[in-house]
Structure 1
Amino acid sequence: MATNYAKYSQLINASTNYARRMKRLSNRIFGEVAIPTNPKSMKVVKIFSERPLHTNEEIIHYYPKHVETHALILKLRDYGLFRDEHQDFKDEMKRLRELRGKVKVWKRHLEEKKE
């Protein structure tokens, strides 16, 4: 004696028009691909069925802590353990500007000196 589920599975595997329509409906209900498709389209289906990237912890915390890293690099540069060529260049340009007497005077600095 066959159970109702066995009868349903036999009906789904049959090649009748009704069986095909029921198979498509079942696939739509359970979130599967309704109509058989090629592997390239299945790749898109797989991508959309995965967890969204903005909720993935590995992607959210991928980049290092930039502020802390920058502060560490500045401290290492003060100790002479790290060479920042761009900052060295900016410091040299500032030094040469001071030697030529072309120092920029900011209003904010003038107010601080008065106090």
Structure 2
Amino acid sequence: MSKLGVVSRRGFIKLAGFAAGYAVFGFNMAREAVAATMEFVGIRQKSVYEADRTVYPIRKSQDNPTVQKLYAKDGFLHEGPCGHKSHELLHTHYVDRSAALQALRDKGVNLNM
């Protein structure tokens, strides 16, 4: 590996192409291209957020009336979001099933995953 990090001919050609592009078009044009790309990303991001806002009126779970009723003083999870009952019902635990899957594969079972 050389000091420039070029390992192969292909890497060298790629690096030389970038260098030639900067020499011909200049750094300013490359900077403008990056700026135009970032502007497009910003416009796209804004439109996605606007579409979400119009399609989904309730975007946060804490604003959902059903969730508020669930955690109300007379609700099912009245202890609160970090209470024992909510932890017991809403949290999951990892179970390693890789040995059982391997046993099935060893028996010749074809698992399409």
TM-score (norm 1): 0.32
Q: Which has the higher contact order (CA 8 A, sep 6+)?
A: 1
With structure 2 as the length reference, what TM-score do the two structures score?
Answer: 0.32
Bigger Rg over Cα: 1
Higher helix share: 1
